[in-house]
Amino acid sequence: LTENSNLNANVVGGRLSSVGHLRAWDANAVAEVVEYLGETTIVVPRELLRATAARCRDAASMQFNLLTDATCLDRHPYEPRFEVVYQLVCISRREKLRLKVRLSGKEPVLDSLVPVWPGANWLEREIFDLFWIHFNEHPDLRRIVLPDDWEGYPLRRDYPVEGYRDIPVMPLGFVKTSI
């Protein structure tokens, strides 16, 4: 990824930027900052995701009250394989921010953000359904768009686009969920 280091400033336009604010709050929460195409991405360590998200929502200087999107991308065969992405919007300041968590293919588990934004519920279920990424403490983690007995997780890069053969063996095994 292209990283433009001079844009990683903590202060923008005379006020502490969101990145600067998070750094001041907990230096460990900001593992990496990517500024690309005018979009700010903060890479957050997996353990600190929920606390960071809550901080983004609640801090008076951030107020990212709307979680618009959550998705995942698979960089198979590279490791860490998965990148779970949360897109935040602060309505009052017209600002957008992206939180990203990198996960290894061996242990694709992270904390759910449903306690912070209830709207994350279906978004995380979709990621679970199509990538088999587990969200700790998610209230209703089951498949959402695919049938319960579907084998495999189609949006993983090693899942074939066509045909039924060559579906990879999933590391965590297939678990049937029910409604």
Partner 1 sequence: MTTVETAVGQAKTMVLNMGPQHPSTHGVLRIMLELDGETVVKAVPDCGYLHTGIEKSCEDKTYSQAITLTDRMDYLNPLGNNLVYCMAVEKLLGLEVPKRAQYIRVMMVELQRISSHLVWLGTHAIDLGAMSVFLYCFREREEILKIFEMFAGQRMMTSYIRIGGVALQPPAGWRQAIERFLKYMPSRVDEYETLLTENRIWMGRTKNIGYISAEDAIALSMTGPTIRAAGVAYDNRKLFPYSSYDEFEFDVPTRTDSDCFARYMIRVAEMRESLKIVRQAMDKITDDGAIKTEAPGIVPPAREKMKTEMEALIYHFKIFTEGFSPPAGEAFVTVESPRGELGCFVASDGSPKPLRVHFRSPSFINLQALPKLVEGQLISDVIACIGTIDIVLGEVDR
Nearer to partner 1, 160 or 171 (CB): 160
Nearer to partner 1, 9 or 91 (CB): 91
**Is cis: bond before 139, omega within 30 of 0?**
no
E-only strand ranges, 44-153: 66-74, 82-90, 95-103, 109-111, 134-136
C-alpha distance from residue 104 to each of 15, 80, 93, 140 (Å):
36, 4, 34, 23
The C-alpha angle 122, 123, 124, rounded to 5 degrees, equals 90
E-only strand ranges, the chain: 11-12, 15-16, 32-36, 39-43, 66-74, 82-90, 95-103, 109-111, 134-136
Nearer to partner 1, 27 or 166 (CB): 166
CB of 52 to partner 1, least distance (A): 18
Nearer to partner 1, 26 or 69 (CB): 69
CB of 157 to partner 1, least distance (A): 8
Q: Which residues, 6 or more positions from 125, have their beta carbon under 8 angstroms from its beta carbon?
A: 138, 140, 141, 142, 143, 144
CB of 48 to partner 1, least distance (A): 21
Name the residues that contact partner 1, by CB under 8 A: 1-2, 36-37, 39, 41, 65-69, 71, 73-75, 85, 87, 91, 94, 96, 98, 117-123, 126, 130, 143-147, 154-155, 157, 159, 161, 179
CB of 1 to partner 1, least distance (A): 6
CB of 24 to partner 1, least distance (A): 26
CB of 23 to partner 1, least distance (A): 22
Nearer to partner 1, 46 or 96 (CB): 96
Nearer to partner 1, 21 or 86 (CB): 86
- The whole-angstrom separation of Cα 112 and Cα 114 is 6
